[in-house]
Structure 1
Amino acid sequence: MPPREGGGHGGGHGTPPGRGNDELRLYGLNAVLALFERRPQALRKLYLAEAMIPRLQPLLKWCVANRVGYRVVEEGDLNKLAATTHHEGVVADVLRAPMLELANWLDGLPADKPVLALWLDGVGNPHNFGAILRSAAHFGVAGLLLPPGATLALSGAAARVAEGGAEAVPLVRLPELPQAMAQLRQAGFGLAATLVEGGDNLFASTLPARLVYVMGAEGEGMDRDLAQDCDLQVSIPGSGAVESLNVASATAVLLSHWYSQVGDARKASR
């Protein structure tokens, strides 16, 4: 069994290190394990409950080998560190993944192959954001596009809800609206506005292989001018028993419809 405290920098019994804007406090088992699998060098400090030692042996050994500090702490300490009881026995201070510029993201995409992306126009709730990330990872979304000036950023709550999806889907910063649309269309993308009502029936629509779904805010929905500038306007039909799906549920439906049309062809082309 590893010692109750180990690793290199950040060890000792003092208060947790301060975190700047480039750091994030992650919590939740799948969120931390996904970070370890994809970006272990981003780990700065690990806190865990004693019961998690067997499950996290590979991570603890990596911490020792790479002089990253870890501490075994009590449940109450984890609650304070995460500011929630929903930490699943592990909390980590990590460096944020850098946000990509649109041009760089486009340059890294496979040429002439199906690609799906999400443009988040005003989504702000961290739990919705986390649920969107989880669905996006499941359906192979290549990026989440955020408009200039967007305040949305990955939080510990969003990463936990995403269950590892936050590490699978990069965040992309868009330029101003006309330039963003021009760059996306030049790269072969169609843009589909997602409307609560008034759009074409999603399930009767044929979607382009390279598609950006533009998602509106939780309360106000999509900006109407932006919707009209898109190539398609789609709505999800339903029984009418409720006004609409929330943005996270709607996203899962939208992604699954594209995947049912294009996903199998994309897998076959790999």
Structure 2
Amino acid sequence: MSGPWDKRSPPRPPRAGGPPPARRPPPPAERTEAPAHAANRSELRLYGLNALHAVFARRPEAIRKVYLTEARIPALKPLLAWCVKQRVGYRVVEEGDLDRLAASTHHEGVLADVLKVEPMPMGDWLRALPEGRPVAALWLDGVGNPHNFGAILRSAAHFGVAGILLPRDSTLALSGAAARVAEGGAEQVPLVRMGNAENAIGQLRGAGFSLAATVVRGGDALFAATLPQRLVYVMGAEGEGMDAQLAAACDQRLSIPGSGAVESLNVAAATAVFLAQWAQRNR
């Protein structure tokens, strides 16, 4: 079964004076498709059922190609009908072909090439924020693991975070793995590109935000702290923690108290705890 972009040209007539030459069957497209890292730079190779459902719900026009296993047809009938109507290519393939296309076995039976959404400038994001309502944002200082990033996006969507703030020189970007772990959260939370740190802090404070550095030790206990209605949690890198100068520039330093049996939570788990406490205090 295939979509509208899988049409093949009719066979050529046989040569005069002899039998037709043997024709080598064309290799299936899913076996010759470029690997994920070689895809069009304007596109993202996204996989996971909830990730694709979220893209289809919010920006279907971004979908360029779809690959799925036969078992996923019932769950994706509305998407496939839309593909036929809009002449967007889709193809039913084997599980192993999706493994190669996704460079992962965690594709959940579906993969799509979709247009990327570039991070929005800080000024545009600030102007679009609602007035008179509590707003939380996350500043990711050095976070790089795609699975942690995906888990952060999922928590951010769950708690209604207004944006993920990325430093000017950060290479962090949405990937197929992050989008799958986010379970649709990647479509709900905008990414925001900041300028230099000093200017970004000034812009945020000018818009009424306080900044809270999240530290493993030496901060005020989160569960007893006062959390303002407009708050940016600054989350440090896995392992090294956050930049010391950035932490010193924040208005608060917060830690999650625990039993001491382990040194700390990882950045994704810690993010969920910090956001839950802010939501409980401000909603």
Q: TM-score interval w.r.t. the shorter chain?
A: over 0.9
The residue number in structure 2 matching 1:101 is 121
Give distance in 2, aligned partners of 1:47 and 1:20: 16
Backbone CA RMSD of aligned residues: 1.3
The residue number in structure 2 matching 1:5 is 2
- 1:56 is paired with a residue whose SS is helix
Equivalent residue letter for 1:137: A
The residue number in structure 2 matching 1:23 is 43
Query: Aligned pair in 2 of structure 1 residues 119, 11: CA closer, same or farther (>3 Å)?
Result: farther
Q: For 1:80-126, what per-residue CA distance to the aligned partner results, in whole angstroms no more than 9, with x for missing partners?
A: 01111111110000111121000001111112321110000000000
Give distance in 1, aligned partners of 2:208 and 2:183: 31
Q: Say if 1:7 and 1:65, in contact at 8 Å, map to a contact too.
A: no
Mapping for residues 109-188 of structure 1, pairs under 5 Å: 109-188=129-208
1:157 offset after TM fit, Å?
0.5
> Share of identical aligned residues, percent?
67
Equivalent residue letter for 1:173: R
1:236 offset after TM fit, Å?
0.5
The residue number in structure 2 matching 1:69 is 89
Question: Does 2:246 correspond to 1:242?
Answer: no
Give distance in 1, aligned partners of 2:42 and 2:192: 16
Give distance in 1, aligned partners of 2:88 and 2:253: 49
Give distance in 2, aligned partners of 1:79 and 1:202: 42
Q: For 1:133-177, what per-residue CA distance to the aligned partner results, in whole angstroms no more than 9, with x for missing partners?
A: 110000000110000110111110011011111111111001101
The residue number in structure 1 matching 2:252 is 232
Give distance in 2, aligned partners of 1:207 and 1:29: 36
The residue number in structure 2 matching 1:91 is 111
1:197 offset after TM fit, Å?
0.5
| Aligned residue pair count | 259
Give distance in 2, aligned partners of 1:20 and 1:215: 31
Equivalent residue letter for 2:87: R
Question: Does 2:212 correspond to 1:215?
Answer: no
1:6 offset after TM fit, Å?
1.1
Q: For 1:39-79, what per-residue CA distance to the aligned partner results, in whole angstroms no more than 9, with x for missing partners?
A: 11110100000111111000001101111000000111011
Give distance in 2, aligned partners of 1:154 and 1:121: 16
Give distance in 1, aligned partners of 2:278 and 2:131: 19
- 2:74 is paired with a residue whose SS is coil
Give distance in 2, aligned partners of 1:189 and 1:11: 55
Q: When the two structures are superposed, what TM-score results if normalisation uses the length of structure 2?
A: 0.89
**Gaps spanning 5+ residues in structure 1: where?**
265-270
Q: Say if 1:7 and 1:64, in contact at 8 Å, map to a contact too.
A: yes
Q: For 1:191-244, what per-residue CA distance to the aligned partner results, in whole angstroms no more than 9, with x for missing partners?
A: 000000101111001101011000000010011111110011100000100000
Q: Say if 1:101 and 1:174, in contact at 8 Å, map to a contact too.
A: yes
Give distance in 2, aligned partners of 1:39 and 1:11: 26
Give distance in 2, aligned partners of 1:107 and 1:64: 39
Equivalent residue letter for 1:161: V
- 1:238 is paired with a residue whose SS is coil
The residue number in structure 2 matching 1:60 is 80
**Gaps spanning 5+ residues in structure 2: where?**
9-27
1:16 offset after TM fit, Å?
3.0
Q: When the two structures are superposed, what TM-score results if normalisation uses the length of structure 1?
A: 0.93
1:11 offset after TM fit, Å?
6.4
The residue number in structure 2 matching 1:191 is 211
- 1:55 is paired with a residue whose SS is helix
Equivalent residue letter for 2:59: R
